[in-house]
Amino acid sequence: MASSCAPRGNVTTLNKFSLLGSSWSKTVFPIGTEMASFKPTKVQVYPKLGEKVTQDTLYWKNYKAPVQIKEFGAITNIDVSPVAPHNFAVTAFTRIHIYGAFSQEPVKTYTRFKDTAYCGRFRADGQLLVAGCEDSVVRLFDVSGKVALRMFKGHTKAVHVTDFTSDRYQILTGSDDYTCRLWDMPNTTELNRYQEHTDYIRCGVTSKLNRDLFITGSYDHTLKVFDARMEKSVMTMDHGHPVESLLLYPSEGLLVSAGGRYVKIWDLLKGGQPLVSLKNHHKTVTSLCLSSNGQRLLSGSLDRHVKVYSTTNYKVVHNFDYAASILSLALAPDDESIVVGMTNGILSMKHRKNPEDSKEVIQQRRRPSYRFFVKGKNYVPKQDDYLVSKPVKQHLAKYDKQLKKFNVSQALDTALETWVRFRKPEVMVAVIKELDRRGTLKNALAGRDEQGLSQLLNFLVGNLVDPRFAPVLVTTAEMILDIYQSVIGQSPVVDRQLLRLQDLLEREIDYQQELLEVLGMLDTMFASSLPRKQVPCSAVSRSNGLAQREAGTQLPAT
């Protein structure tokens, strides 16, 4: 009988609305003051949609505009030097570039690769750099030199994984020949070889706490934990998808793996028990990274997004958009900069805004002297002075000025301009509403040239299906079609816009229909699941009927 459902309609709260002259304690000229001023168009405040402003968004938005550097090919790996000045080793195509923290030009370049280089990584002291290559040779460089110090030959296929063990004297490599090996650095000998994976090994990580432990991930969907002292892997976990990236928490109790669209967290101390599976990307996740304080986890994906997760509840707290699919991702210490490498060879570096920089800019502006402001303010009129009060000038928005003059077309134009500049559809919608109220919307819409019309259509395409604006904009669209139907086919620009509009509407109709279907389904489900409640009606209506008979009317109760 009684259905309680969610309240409909927009509820807007306005803080303080000053009402000119409506206080009755000063009833001297309330009506007079009210009359003289033009009431500006009210731009409705709509409840805010989309993401809320949190501490995280503020933190992650506090970066400067990105520095973009074009590399020769897809950037497969980025590694930050563990020692100051925290240079980046960027592996792209057949080269490894070392970039300084703020330089746009590479500090150093390693070009002695015969084929595509992979996985350039720094040693913990930042002195040595190791990199794999398509030609199966692993090369070790000194950061100051150019020529490889050592070359480790033994793999039969491309080496995609290289890393230093924590004792600094061994190197881990993983290759497309399904093997991972440990090498002794000084005499370039192979110490261990594990051939347990059944597909390419594309990621691996060494423990920072234990010199013998390392983990590899492979395209055979498994992660394997190896101990150099053992012959076989000590732990195997099934990720379910080809594993693209691995990350160990600083405590090394938790392991993060990325593969397919999933990011999975494993508890190593519980024998590799899966903790969480995150599915926030809609394409393969390619890279992982941990913020400097360990509170946030970042993942980059081929869907061109970098997502920031909280490591306490594994919810997405922020999201970065990039222009191309992301292959590699790195954070400088203290989150000073975010470096992202993409498939199109563009390296994007975002540096954190310096709090001092913004302050300096403000201080540079010269201020008028204090005396200028105080001038005349403290003047007290003498007894015989005649006070001429200056009328307070009302500030009006540009479109309001036009509306005041009844220039309806110009008012619409200025509103459209503000939309183009600030992307605030509320203003435009408010002006359209006001024109409609004045009965002059048709006049304002008519008589436009190709450019004006296409701009208007552009606005409609952008906002027509927004449920907040739809009631107003649908009538506007109808009016436009009515007015300009005679000129359809004369301008290719306008025709294209109209086709877009048609497309949009068709999609919207389909969408609405689907929604209605879902609602219908939900209704039947609710109806069948809710217990039937007896309303105490029968007794009441009986007594009612009795009363009626007494009162002398003969009609039965409902």
- Chain contacts with other proteins (rule: CB under 8 A): 1-5, 7-17, 19, 21-25, 27, 29-32, 34-42, 44, 403, 434, 436-439, 471, 475, 535-537, 540-541, 543-544, 546-548, 550-551, 553, 555, 557-558
The candidate with the shortest Cα–Cα distance to 131, out of 189, 92, 176, is 92
Q: How far apart are CA 98 and CA 109, in angstroms?
A: 6
Give min distance, CB of 470 to other proteins, in A.
Answer: 11
Q: Is-contact 152 180, C-beta < 8 A? A: no
Of 62 and 543, nearer to other proteins (C-beta) is 543
Unique residue bearing structure tokens 């009927």? 545
Which phi-psi region, left, alpha or beta, contains residue 439 (left: φ > 0; alpha: ψ -120 to 50)? left
Give min distance, CB of 527 to other proteins, in A.
Answer: 15
Of 25 and 369, nearer to other proteins (C-beta) is 25
DSSP state at residue 39:
P
Integer CA distances (angstroms), 294 to 203, 246, 249, 267, 290, in order: 21, 15, 8, 16, 6
Q: Is-contact 135 115, C-beta < 8 A? A: yes
Here the tokens at position 51 are: 């993401």
Give min distance, CB of 411 to other proteins, in A.
Answer: 12
Query: Which residues sit opposite 256 in a β-bridge?
Result: 247, 265
Asked if omega into 85 is within 30° of 0 (cis), the reply is: yes
Give min distance, CB of 43 to other proteins, in A.
Answer: 12
Give min distance, CB of 410 to other proteins, in A.
Answer: 17
Q: Is-contact 181 198, C-beta < 8 A? A: no
Give min distance, CB of 482 to other proteins, in A.
Answer: 12
Of 303 and 434, nearer to other proteins (C-beta) is 434
Of 518 and 546, nearer to other proteins (C-beta) is 546
Give the three-class secondary structure for 210. coil
Give min distance, CB of 6 to other proteins, in A.
Answer: 8
Q: Is-contact 306 317, C-beta < 8 A? A: no
Of 15 and 144, nearer to other proteins (C-beta) is 15
Of 168 and 401, nearer to other proteins (C-beta) is 401
Of 358 and 553, nearer to other proteins (C-beta) is 553
Provide DSSP, 149-197. EEEE---SS-EEEEEE-TTSSEEEEEETTS-EEEEETTTTEEEEEE---
Q: Is-contact 404 38, C-beta < 8 A? A: yes
Give min distance, CB of 432 to other proteins, in A.
Answer: 12
Here the tokens at position 146 are: 């150019």
Single-letter code of the amino acid located at 383 = Q
The candidate with the shortest Cα–Cα distance to 91, out of 128, 130, 55, is 130
Give min distance, CB of 535 to other proteins, in A.
Answer: 6
Of 47 and 50, nearer to other proteins (C-beta) is 47
Question: Phi first, then psi: what are they for 460, rounded to 5°?
Answer: -65, -45
Of 151 and 537, nearer to other proteins (C-beta) is 537
Of 128 and 428, nearer to other proteins (C-beta) is 428
Give min distance, CB of 395 to other proteins, in A.
Answer: 15
